Amino acid sequence: MQSTHTDTTKLNKQQLGSLEKHLLNDFQHGFPLVSRPFQAIAEKLGTTEEMVIDTLAQLQQQGFVSRVGAVFRANSIGASTLAAMAVPEERLEEVAAMINDYSEVNHNYQREHHFNLWFVLTASDEQVLNAVLDDIEHCSGIPVMYLPMLEDYHIDLGFDLKWI
C-alpha cells in the first residue's frame, strides 16, 4: 500500500450519514463488553443490530475503519520500537519497499527531515526485533536509529472527528 498525502481525499462527507458518523466517533473507546455489543450500540443509536454490523463492515471496506478492537499499550505485549533512517533521496523508494516487506513493520512513513524514513517494528520479543533491525541495516547499508518507548504519557480516548 502506498499513497501520497496530496491525493484527493477519499472522504466524500456527503456519503457519511448520521449513523456512520456516530459509529465512527462515539465508540472509539468503551466499546460494550457484553454478549451482544452491536445490539447495545444499536439501542443507543436507535437502530438495529443488523444495521450496525452492516454499516461497520461497510466502513471497514471503504477504509474509514481499520478494525473494531483493541489498541495495546506499547511493549506490554511483545516488543516494539520506532526506528529512523537517513536515506539518500534516490534510494528512498527501494529502501522503503524493502522495509515494507518485513511482516514486523506496521507503519512506514517518509518525513521531512534529514532522518527521512520512519517506521514502527513490532515483534513477539526483543530478540526478533533486534534481528530484524540488524537485517535492515545489513541489507540497506544504512544505520538504523532506534528509539523504543520509555514512558507513555498519552491518555487514549480515540480521536474526536470534527465533521466540518
Q: Of all helices (H) and strands (E), which one includes residue 146?
A: strand 145-147
Q: Interface residues for other proteins in 59-118 (CB under 8 A)? A: 60, 62-82, 84, 96-97, 99-100, 103, 105-113, 115, 118
Q: What are phi and psi of 130, to 5 degrees?
A: -65, -35
Instruction: Please select the residue that binds other proteins; options are 43, 49, 51, 135, rule is CB under 8 A.
Output: 49
Q: Is 120 near other proteins (CB under 8 A)? A: yes
Question: Bridge partners of 83?
Answer: 119, 146
Q: Is 3 near other proteins (CB under 8 A)? A: yes
CA atoms within 13 A on the CB side of 112: 1
Query: Which CB atom, from 46 or from 164, has the smaller least distance to other proteins?
Result: 164
- Give the three-state DSSP class for 127: helix
> Total number of residues binding other proteins (CB under 8 A)?
95
Instruction: Please select the residue that binds other proteins; options are 17, 18, 94, 124, rule is CB under 8 A.
Output: 124
Q: Is 47 near other proteins (CB under 8 A)? A: no
Tell me how far apart the alpha carbons of residues 55 and 53 are, in angstroms, rounded to a whole number: 6
